[in-house]
Amino acid sequence: MNTPYLPNGEHFQVFQGIPINEMSPTMHEIGKSIGTTTFELGLIGYGDPEPVRIHSESVYHPEMCPYFMLACVKPAEDGGDTIVYDGVKAARIITEEQPDLLNVRMVYHAEHYDDTKAVVPLVRNLGGEDSLTFRQKFYLNEVHHLPEGMSEDGFYEYMDSVLDRSVEFHATLQPGEIILINNYKTLHVRTAYTGLRKIIRVRVDDPAYVAI
Ligand SMILES: [Fe+2]
């Protein structure tokens, strides 16, 4: 199907100058054109001194959502950047440097949904290309089949170094900006921030919210 979005297989696309009142309908319109269902959540915070972990969206679900969007209503006073990492590049680095890690099986338990978990390889072929899907060190992660001699801490440190080399977008979203992200090909994070921050998040074909 032809779509005007991510036309050449880009991993993300930024839209600017959207009037605040049109951001939500615009996101649903974009979502419906690249998927079937959309699910919206307002993310409002009054500062958070901790960055979130780098992650793939809904990594704890066996079927990750393929796309999601973030729209800025109000940026934080300071920080609250959005960073996107190239999961395809990360998979390539791992394959070249540490091919034994391709045997690793990760278990990602959901933080807010009981009994939801994904048991998946570190690198997955989603959408026709090998890509890293991952969540940084977290007590709800399990790591299995590490290569001999590699500790879990060593594994997470190595993964951090891979992600450091895979950044493909880093910005503070401004009011009127929407970023559309291919979740199969990327990972992302939100940095620490101070002050009120208002973001709208829309997931496309979120497996946790099946359409009725
Ligand atoms: Fe996220």
Burial of residue 29, with CB atoms counted within 10 A of its CB: 0-12 exposed, 13-18 middle, 19 or more buried? exposed
Please report whether residue 5 resides in a domain: no
User: 135 lies in which domain range?
Assistant: 12-204
Please report whether residue 211 resides in a domain: no
Please report whether residue 210 resides in a domain: no
pLDDT of residue 212: 47
pLDDT of residue 88: 98
Please report whether residue 209 resides in a domain: no
Give dist(CA 177, CA 168) in Å, integer.
Answer: 18
Using the mean position of ligand 1's atoms as its centre, give its distance from the Cα of residue 155 in Å.
Answer: 22
Using the mean position of ligand 1's atoms as its centre, give its distance from the Cα of residue 163 in Å.
Answer: 15
Number of compact structural domains in the chain: 1
Tell me the pTM: 0.95
Using the mean position of ligand 1's atoms as its centre, give its distance from the Cα of residue 56 in Å.
Answer: 7
Using the mean position of ligand 1's atoms as its centre, give its distance from the Cα of residue 58 in Å.
Answer: 7
Task: Give the pLDDT means over successive 10-residue stretches in the chain (212 positions).
Answer: 78 97 97 95 94 94 94 98 98 98 96 86 93 97 97 98 98 98 97 97 86 50
pLDDT of residue 95: 98
The CATH number assigned to the domain holding 183 equals 3.60.130.10
67 and 204 Cβ atoms separated by less than 8 Å = yes
Single-letter code of the amino acid located at 155? F
Using the mean position of ligand 1's atoms as its centre, give its distance from the Cα of residue 129 in Å.
Answer: 21
Using the mean position of ligand 1's atoms as its centre, give its distance from the Cα of residue 149 in Å.
Answer: 32
Please report whether residue 52 resides in a domain: yes
Residues 6+ positions from 8 with CB-CB distance below 8 Å: none
Using the mean position of ligand 1's atoms as its centre, give its distance from the Cα of residue 86 in Å.
Answer: 15
Using the mean position of ligand 1's atoms as its centre, give its distance from the Cα of residue 188 in Å.
Answer: 6
Please report whether residue 192 resides in a domain: yes
Please report whether residue 6 resides in a domain: no
DSSP bridge partners of 188? 55, 84
Structural tokens at position 33: 């054109």
Please report whether residue 7 resides in a domain: no
194 and 136 Cβ atoms separated by less than 8 Å = no
